[in-house]
Amino acid sequence: MPKDATPAPGRPMRADARRNADKIVAAAGALIAEHGADASLEEVARRAGVGSATLHRHFPTRQALLEAVFKGRVEALCAKADDLLAEPDPGLALSTWLHAVGAHAVTNRGLGASLMRDTDTTLGDTCHAVITVAGDNLLARAQAAGAARVDITATQLLKIVGAIALTIERDTDGPAEVGLLVSIAIDGVRTHS
């Protein structure tokens, strides 16, 4: 097996191969944030400092690479939610996470839509489910503390943030604007005396 080849299932990947795969995913993520999901695979390989053959050994299709980028981003978003469960201020924890969701959505720049072109929706359904659970946990804490309205759901919050991100994902100042727009939406989530 060539040194960069993906190992058979159940077999650990060599350290140098793991580093190459990680560099490829990081480069792809950066290019997607800059240019969208149709970013050039040749540019991904160049930025990662690997050859095209190495990229294709790790990710035989564009779809496989996009899925790896998306899964990594979803895992990071859910890990942030888990970390925020320890935040003493549940309202601040929810707000912080919703801002992270907005940033996540804007940097995806068409990634979700590109992945949905595939007929298998399992990845999208799974990612949506874990993000919703993460949001449910943070929202429940905020509601219990009186920091969030009790008549809203995490799914509704995710729809609001997703709609905001969708409208500005192609804007050059999208990442900055998403923060402002999410803050405006969060004001509607808070309980008011």
Token pair in block for residue 134: 């993460």
CATH code at 35?
1.10.10
Please give the residue range of the domain that contains residue 93. 62-189
What is the model's pTM? 0.79
Query: Domain tally for the chain?
Result: 2
Quick one: 150 and 73 in the same domain? yes
Is pLDDT above 70 for 178? yes
Q: Nearest Cα to 133, choosing from 177, 90, 63, 74?
A: 74
Residue 109 sits at the vertex; the CA angle it makes with 103 and 114, to the nearest 5 degrees, is 130
Is pLDDT of 26 > 90? yes
Q: What pLDDT, on the 0 to 100 scale, is given for residue 113?
A: 66
- Check residues 5 and 136 and name the one with the higher pLDDT: 136
**Where residue 5 falls among pLDDT bands split at 50, 70, 90?**
very low
- Residue where the block lists tokens 């925020």: 84
Q: Are residues 104 and 86 in the same domain?
A: yes
Give me the DSSP letters along 24-75: HHHHHHHHHHHH-TT--HHHHHHHHT--HHHHHHH-SSHHHHHHHHHHHHHH
